[in-house]
Amino acid sequence: MNDMTPRPFDGREYPYTPRDFAAVSAMVHAHSGICLPQTKTMLVYSRLVKLVRERGLRDFATYIDLIRRDPAERQRAIEAMTTNHTKFFREDHHFHQFEREVRPLLIDRLDAGGRVRMWCAAASTGEEPYSLAMSLLGVDRAEGRVIAGGDVAILGTDLSGAVLDVARRGLYPAALAQDIPDDLRRTWTRVSGGTMAVAPMLRDMVRYRRLNLLNAWPMRGRFDVIFCRNVMIYFDEPTRERLVARLVDQLAPGGYLYIGHSERIGGEAARRLRAIGQTVYRKDAA
């Protein structure tokens, strides 16, 4: 090994060099927009080593050659790099604001025969869309049935097909029930043994689709509410600005955008939104 050859990181099961990390980082950014700084070097190793092992390969360089050639394996690798941390009613101030200010407007529209569309752009394993559905339907099951009978739907999208499979099932460890407000939990979930199931009415309201936010979006209609939380923190500034501008385009006039607590709105989109709460924005009605 001469001085110009990247030296492997020591103490690892498979040879893994700075050049390997740089190649993975560039590929993940190109296909998903996720930025992987140098501090994530060993995170990349830990997320991908299982895939290298499953393929029976001798080093990371060989696996990188594989994912360059094989789109399906590349998708597996990129999904392995995504973070899917979520919980029911995460950042609960958003749901309080929704119940207090947005829900009455949406119910009035449904009562008048109108339609309501909402989008969770990083749905992960489904906790966020189901939290939004519970917040819309409320604590009274009979009232919730009437609301759900209107022209209302929630779209849940994610880069990872594996997490969406979990979301569609609507089955979770019973311990997660503690994150749901008591009255909503009693109305819309059932616990049996160590499993909590969300009500079929909730599952029927949410449609799950795989979507890379950097690619073309197939949705034709606009949304009254968009949740895109704790996603942009993984993007660089130009990618964030482009994404937010597209989200605003996808909002109906007067629609609401919810972002993560550490995220900010910038660029051209900031002129089209009005802050109305903690990381809650409303698009101009005109």
Per-residue pLDDT at 10: 54
Fold of domain 18-81: Chemotaxis Receptor Methyltransferase Cher; domain 1 (1.10.155)
Non-local (6+) Cβ contacts of 146 within 8 A are none
Q: Which CATH number fits domain 92-283: 3.30.1020.10, 3.20.20.140, 1.10.1740.10, 3.40.50.150?
A: 3.40.50.150
Residue tagged active-site, from 12, 19, 47, 242 = 47
Average pLDDT, the chain: 90
pLDDT in tens, 177-203: 999 999 999 999 999 999 999 999 999
Residues 32 and 12: their CA atoms lie apart, in Å, by 27
Per-residue pLDDT at 7: 54
The residue among 280, 286, 284 whose CA lies nearest residue 98 is 280
Residues 189 and 185: their CA atoms lie apart, in Å, by 5
pTM listed for this prediction: 0.83
Q: Residue ranges for the binding site?
A: 84, 86, 90, 128, 158, 212-213, 229-230
Task: Kindly report which listed range (9-23, 65-79, 163-177, 205-219) carries the lowest average pLDDT score.
Answer: 9-23
Q: Tell me if 59 sits within 8 A of 70, measured CB to CB.
A: no
The residue among 220, 266, 261, 262 whose CA lies nearest residue 239 is 266
Quick check: helix, strand or coil at residue 175? helix
Q: Where are the domains of the chain?
A: 18-81, 92-283
Residue tagged active-site, from 158, 203, 224, 282 = 158
- Give first-to-last CA distance, the chain, whole Å: 65
Q: Is 47 a catalytic residue?
A: yes
Q: Is 100 a catalytic residue?
A: no
pLDDT in tens, 55-85: 898 889 999 999 899 988 888 888 887 766 7
Q: Tell me if 164 sits within 8 A of 158, measured CB to CB.
A: yes
pLDDT band at 42 (very low <50, low <70, confident <90, very high): confident
pLDDT for residue 2 is more than 60: no
Q: Residue ranges for the binding site for S-adenosyl-L-methionine?
A: 84, 86, 90, 128, 158, 212-213, 229-230
Per-residue pLDDT at 125: 94
Non-local (6+) Cβ contacts of 262 within 8 A are 230, 233
Per-residue pLDDT at 119: 98
